[in-house]
Amino acid sequence: MKNFTYTLGGGIHRSPEFEKKGLAEYAVNVGLRCGHDCTYCSSRAMLRCHTAFQELGRKAFDTGYSIVDPSIPERVAEDAKRLRRKGLVQICTTVDAWAPEAQELHLGRRCLEAILAEPGWTVRVLTKNAAVADDFDLIRKHRERVIVGLSLTGTPDKDHVLAVVEPHASPVSERMAALRKAHKLGLRTYGMLCPLLPGIADAPAQIDELVQFVKDCGAEEVFSEAINARGNSLTLTEQVLRDAGFLAEADSISAIRKRTVWSQYVVALFQSIQQSMRTHMTTEKLRFLLYPSGLADKDRRAIKKDDAGVVWL
Ligand code: SF4
């Protein structure tokens, strides 16, 4: 990995998209390119027009590099003081504050400290790195104001497959251990089952295992979403799986590039999660994030008939 630094504008931003999802009103992002380098990362497509890529001589859709802003905690501190309307902030929405390059600069912890120093703010932590557990001492001091989530993208028996598509994130087994620890320490938690890739993490038994797990960890809510097909996420994911010899998994990713198959995957995924939530928890705590534009009419109608737990986007 090549790690770049770059100074971004601002610290705490409004995030209408994440507010609509029910995740947070504000976002803090510690850089522009996350070093976890997940092949399905939709941030590459979302941020592709940023001038930083050209300035640093990199292509937005390339892999193998990260971009962090070492000065972000100072601007977060300024904004935390300056903004009159406080609310729920997510760290982060387009990168990961506990990715290796951000860890080196303690960006996750420093941003947390900056926000929590000001009354009125609450924080949603979202990461794919178990290193967040190093900061549970700080979070514990502000227990009521922080809710902790680690994205679970499969069951631990699929760690060897997920290592190919999430090359620098913690294995799911370690993320689970961190979430379990958070719960044992009395921290507030939520479930983030996202993305659940076809052929890797979408079988009803796997979903049951994940739902049961987050329930046991005291999850206040459970968010879930299908893989986002923006940019080159599907082609890159298929390619690395094929190169690593996971041919059946690569075929499953390839198949959902066809709209009808994509739509069937999303419906089946939602219905499995909804069923699992009904069995183990309640759909009142489910937030299945759903963009209806890619759904076939009959699939959209099937979901509409019983859409308890859907957040229509
Ligand atoms: S952890 Fe999240 S932000 Fe980082 S590369 Fe993976 S999907 Fe993108």
Is a pLDDT exceeding 90 seen at residue 148?
Answer: yes
Residue with tokens 């069923």: 275
Is the Cβ–Cβ distance between 58 and 50 less than 8 Å? no
Residue 161 · residue 203 · CB < 8 Å? no
Confidence of residue 244 (pLDDT cuts 50, 70, 90): very high
CB distance 172 to 162 below 8 Å: yes
**95: Cβ below 6 Å to ligand 1?**
yes
Best of 34, 40, 101, 107 for a ligand 1 pocket test (most atoms within 8 Å of beta carbon): 34
pLDDT reported for residue 38: 98
User: What span, in angstroms and rounded, lies between the C-alpha atoms of 307 and 201?
Assistant: 22
3-state secondary structure of 287: strand
Mean pLDDT for the chain overall: 97
Any ligand 1 atom below 6 A from CB of 38:
yes
> Which is nearest to 30 in space by CA: 78, 90, 85?
90
The model's confidence at residue 183, banded by pLDDT at 50, 70 and 90, is very high
Ligand 1 contacts CB of residue 155 (under 6 A): no
Which ranges of 200-246 would DSSP assign to H, the alpha helix?
204-216, 233-243
171 token code pair: 């294995």
Instruction: Report how far apart, in Å, the C-alpha atoms of 60 and of each of 47, 53, 95, 234, 275 are.
Output: 8, 6, 14, 16, 39
Q: Is the CB of 128 under 6 A from ligand 1?
A: yes
Query: Where are the domains positioned within the chain?
Result: 1-124, 128-313
Is the CB–ligand 1 distance for residue 36 below 6 Å? Answer: yes
Q: Is 197 in the pocket of ligand 1 (CB under 6 A)?
A: no
Locate the ligand 1 atom nearest the alpha carbon of residue 129 and give its number. Answer: 1
What are residue 31's DSSP bridge partners? Answer: 68
Would you say residue 223 has pLDDT above 90?
A: yes
Whole-number Å distance, alpha carbon 301 to ligand 1 midpoint, is 32
Dist. CA 145–CA 112, nearest whole Å: 11
* CATH match of 128-313 with 3.80.30: yes
pLDDT of residue 230: 87
Ligand 1 centroid distance, CA of 306 (Å): 31
Distance 305 CA to ligand 1 centre (A): 33
What percentage of the chain carries pLDDT values higher than 90?
A: 98
